[in-house]
Structure 1
Amino acid sequence: MALWKCVRCLVFLLFLWTFQRGDAEVCILKQSCILKCNFNPGDDVVIHWIMVAGNIPVHSYYHNQDQLTRQDQRFMSRTSLLKDQISKGNASLKLTTVEVQDGGRYKCYTSTITGNKETFIDLNVEAPVAEVDIQKVENRITCSSEGIYPKPELTWSTSPPSSVTFKNTTTVQETEQQLYNISGSLMVSDSGTDVAYSCTVSSGEHRRTATLFKQLNKTSTTETTIDCPSSKAPLTVLIWRFNHSQIIVTQTGANVPYKVSEEWRQQVKAVSESGNLALTGLTPDQQGAYTCEFSNEEETNVGSTFLRIEESKGSDINVGIVIVAIGIIAAAAGVAGFFYWKKRKHNSKQTGGNISDNKTGSKARDDEGSEMLM
C-alpha cells in the first residue's frame, strides 16, 4: 500500500514538473526578445506577467489598457504587449535591451470570462562570443575574448595536427555586469615548422575560432603585394595593421568599399577580393610587421608578414651611369679646350712672323727708292 502511494506521488510530481516546465526562450544580450504566450480569446481580458523568482511584477494589462503602477523598476520602459494581437488571444511580451539579470522563469497569467490560464517560459540570456583576439609576442601566443555569457571555455589546436602537449594557462574573470572575460596563453618553440595555431572560445551553443598563421619574412623595394590568410566563408571584417597598432585599411563587408587611413593613402595601391594588400612608393620608414585580420561570422584568421625595404638597385645603376656620363663629357670638354688653346697659340705665332717680314721688305724698298733719287 505504501509503495503504491509513493508511485502515485512520483507520478503527480512528474506531471506537475512537466506542466510547469514551460518553453525555453533564448534572448541575446542588449537586444529585444519576445516571450510567447497564447490564450483562448474572450471578453474582460486580464494579463499578468510575473518573474517567478521573487514574484516580481513585470507587466499587467486589464480594463483594455496597461496597468503599470506596480511594475518593478528594473522593467520600466522595457516591456510592451502586442496590442493588436490581444483580441486574437496573443499575450506575448516584448522585452527590450535584455540584461543578464533578466534570465529566469516567467509566468504569463491570462483570464477572460471563459476561464484562466497559466503559461511558464524559461528565459535564457546569452552574450555570444563576438570577437577573439590572437597575437604572438616572441614565443608566447595569447588569446582573449570579452563580454561573454554564460561562462566560456578556451581550447587550443594546430593545423596540421600536432602531437605536442600544450602548456597553456587560462583565466576567467566575471565583470560587474555579470559577463565573463577569458584569456589564455601558450608557449611555443620557434622550430620553424609551418604550423598554424588556433584558439576556440565556446559559450553555450556559440563558439568562435581565431587562427594565427606563421609569420612570413619578405624583402621588397618600393612596390609589393602582401598576402592575407583568407577563408572560404564570406568576409565580414578586414583590417590591415602596421606594427600591430597603426591601421592601414579597414573593410566591413564583401560588397563594401575598403577605407584607407590618411597616413597610408599614398602607399596603398589596391586591396584584392581575397584581402591581399598592394603597396607602392614604400620607403625605409615603412619597414616592419604588416598584419592582416580577416573575419567572418565563424572565425578570425590572422597573418603577419615582416617586410624589409631595400633600395632599388636599378636606381643605383642609373645614378652611376649619369655620373660616368658627366665625367666623360667633362673630360671631352677639357681635351677639346686644350687643343683649341694650342691651335690658337700656333696661329698667333704664324701671324707675328708674317708681320715682321712685311716690315723688312717695306724698309728695303724705301732705301732703294732713296738711292735712285740721289
Structure 2
Amino acid sequence: MAETHSITIMLLIFSGKLFMADSKGFFPEANVTCIIHDDCILPCSFRPTGTVVIHWYKQQIPVHSYYYNKDQFGLQNKHFSGRTYLFNSHIPHGNASLLLRRVKVQDKGRYKCYTSTRKGNQEIFVNLEVKALIQSVIMEMSDEMVTCSSQNVYPVPQVTWATDPPSAQDALENATIKITDHKGLFTVESTLRILSNHSNYTFFCSFISADKTQVWTVSRKNQESITQEEGHALSIPCIAPQSLQNFSLSWTFTSSSEFTVILRYDSRTRHTFILWEGQAELDQDLLLLGDGSLLLHKPDSEEHSGTYTCTLSGLQSRHIVLTKVNITVASISVDEQSVQRSWWSTAASAAFVLFTIMLALPQCVRQRGTAMEASHRYNGAGLVHKDQNTTALYINRQHGVECNTLQLQFEAQDELSGSVPKTAEDCTVDVPAGTKIEEEEKTVGPPVEGNDGLQSSSLDKDGFGNIEPRLHIP
C-alpha cells in the first residue's frame, strides 16, 4: 500500500511538470535516474479527449502498447516481457506514464512516449539513467600492500587514496581494475603498495560514485604489537579518525583460526553486548567522543593472546584497527623469590626435624620399656635398695650423654610439639639385659688415720655423704 501511494505521488508530480510544459507550447525531455533492481516510473502525460492510443518505444524497440482500452503485448520485445505496466485507471485523466519493474543496466537509454487522440498526436522523450549504489567497501591489508574493493556497482566509481600522517602523491600510486559481470555490474578493485616507512600509517580509501552523490570511505591501521604481563589491566586503543554521529562498534578476537565476537555497541540504542562479561569493558563516556578502546581487566596468557580487531561503522564509513596482543606469563620478583626460598627452607627444616623425631620416638619407647623391665626384675630378685633415688641417679649419670642427646632432639621440635624434657627423669635409660645393679655396704671398722689426720670411711660416697651404688656390667 505504501509503495502504491508513493508511486501515485510521483505520477502527480511528473504529470504536473508535463502539463506546465504543454501550457508553454514546448515539451522538454525528461531525465530520470533509476536504481538497478528497483522499480522505476517513466513519466508521460497528455490532454485526454476520448479514446487514446499509447505506444512506448526504446529507440525503435516496442516496449508497451495500449489501444482499444486495454494493454497490447503482441509486439512487445522479450527484454521487457512481464516488466512494464500502465496505470490504466489514470489513463482517462491523461496519465500515460510507464512503470518499469526490476530495472537492469540494459534498460538505460532514450525512451519515447507516443500518444494519439482525436485532437492530434504527441511525443515525449525520457532519458533513463541507471545506477547501482555503492553498498560497501572492503579493505584488506598485508605487510606489502593494501587493497580496496567494491562489488555490483554502476557506473564505475572514482577511487582515491590518503594516509595519516599525510603522504606525498608519488607515494600513493595505485593500480585500479574493473570487472564486468553478466548483468553489466562492475567489481572495482584498487591496490596501493605500502612503503617500508608507512607500515604504521592509517590508510584511507574512498569510492566516489559517478554522480557524486555517494562517498564511501574506509580506513585501516595495523597497530604495533602489544606485549603485556598476565594479570595486569591492558587497554587496546581504537579511536575513530573523524567524528561519528550514529555508529556501531564491534570488537573481534582471532586466535588459532578461531573467530570470536567479544563485544558490540550501538550508539543509537546505547545497547552493549559483551561476551567476555567481567573480563572486558568500554568507557561509556569516551565512546561518545569516538574512542572505542577495549579494557581487559586480568588478561590470561593462553586465553587472551591473539589478534584484536576494532571496527567503527558509520554512515558510508568504516574504520578498522588491528592489534596483535601477546600476554606473557607473570615473572617472579626478587622479594617473591626470597619469600619462596625462605618458605621452602623452613618447610625442609621442619620436615627434617619431624623425620628425626619419627626415628627417635620408637627408640625412646623401647628404652623406657627396657628400663621399667629391668627395675621390676631387680626388685623381684630381693635386692635391697636403701635409696632407690640414689640408684636412679647413678644410672642417669652413667647414661647422661645419651639423655642429653635426646633432650636436644626434643628441644629442636619444640615449636611443633611444645613438649621438651625438663629434667633427667623425663629421659628413659636403656639398661642392657643382665646388668646388675647392687648397693655394696662395707662393715664399718675402726677409723683409719690418713695422712691428713682425718678418719676415712671404708664406704664409697658421692661427695655429698650419700652411699653411691656400684654398677656391675658382666
**Normalising by the residue count of structure 2, what TM-score does the alignment of the two structures yield?**
0.60
Deviations 1:210-264 (A, max 9, x none): 212242322343775544444514236857463798643396975587889xxx8
Identity, in percent, stands at 29
Instruction: Flag the 1:180–1:110 CA change in 2: closer, same or farther, 3 A.
Output: same
C-alpha contact (below 8 Å) 1:237/1:296 kept by paired residues: no
**Counterpart of 2:312?**
294
Residue 242 in structure 1 maps to residue 242 in structure 2 = no
**Counterpart of 2:219?**
211
**Counterpart of 1:12?**
none
Q: Can you give the 5+ residue segments of structure 2 that lack an aligned partner in the other structure?
A: 1-24, 385-474
Larger radius of gyration between Structure 1 and Structure 2 = 2
Instruction: Flag the 1:353–1:161 CA change in 2: closer, same or farther, 3 A.
Output: closer
Q: Can you give the 5+ residue segments of structure 1 that lack an aligned partner in the other structure?
A: 1-17, 367-374
**Counterpart of 1:346?**
364
Q: CA deviation at 1:333?
A: 4.6
**In structure 2, what residue type is equivalent to 1:91?**
A
C-alpha contact (below 8 Å) 1:152/1:180 kept by paired residues: no
Q: Which has the higher contact order (CA 8 A, sep 6+)?
A: 1
C-alpha contact (below 8 Å) 2:200/2:223 kept by paired residues: no
Q: CA deviation at 1:120?
A: 1.2
Find 2:85's aligned residue among 80, 88, 100. 80
Q: CA deviation at 1:105?
A: 0.8
**Counterpart of 1:23?**
30
**In structure 2, what residue type is equivalent to 1:129?**
I
Q: CA deviation at 1:88?
A: 3.1
Deviations 1:32-57 (A, max 9, x none): 112222222343233222112xx112
Cα distance in 1 between the residues matched to 2:131 and 2:337: 66
3-state secondary structure, aligned to 2:192: strand
- The structure where strand makes up a greater share of residues is 1
**In structure 2, what residue type is equivalent to 1:159?**
D
Residue 146 in structure 1 maps to residue 144 in structure 2 = no
C-alpha contact (below 8 Å) 2:250/2:265 kept by paired residues: yes
Q: Would you say how many aligned residue pairs link Structure 1 and Structure 2?
A: 343
Cα distance in 1 between the residues matched to 2:150 and 2:137: 5
Q: How does 1:130-169 map to 2 (within 5 A)?
A: 130-163=135-168, 165=170, 166-169=172-175
User: Which range moved further: 74-83 or 183-192?
Assistant: 183-192
Cα distance in 2 between the residues matched to 1:104 and 1:244: 53
**Counterpart of 1:47?**
54
Instruction: Flag the 1:343–1:293 CA change in 2: closer, same or farther, 3 A.
Output: closer
Instruction: Flag the 1:85–1:323 CA change in 2: closer, same or farther, 3 A.
Output: farther
Instruction: Flag the 1:251–1:340 CA change in 2: closer, same or farther, 3 A.
Output: closer
Find 1:335's aligned residue among 353, 373, 382. 353
Instruction: Flag the 1:126–1:286 CA change in 2: closer, same or farther, 3 A.
Output: same
Q: How does 1:170-249 map to 2 (within 5 A)?
A: 170-191=176-197, 195-205=201-211, 206-220=214-228, 221=230, 226-230=236-240, 231-235=243-247, 240=252, 242=254, 247-249=259-261
3-state secondary structure, aligned to 2:196: coil
**Normalising by the residue count of structure 1, what TM-score does the alignment of the two structures yield?**
0.75
C-alpha contact (below 8 Å) 2:61/2:77 kept by paired residues: yes
**Counterpart of 2:446?**
none
Instruction: Flag the 1:311–1:333 CA change in 2: closer, same or farther, 3 A.
Output: same
**Counterpart of 1:303?**
321
Cα distance in 2 between the residues matched to 1:353 and 1:76: 124
Q: CA deviation at 1:277?
A: 5.2
**Counterpart of 1:62?**
67
Cα distance in 2 between the residues matched to 1:208 and 1:356: 108
Q: CA deviation at 1:91?
A: 2.3
User: Aligned-residue CA RMSD in angstroms?
Assistant: 4.0
**Counterpart of 1:3?**
none
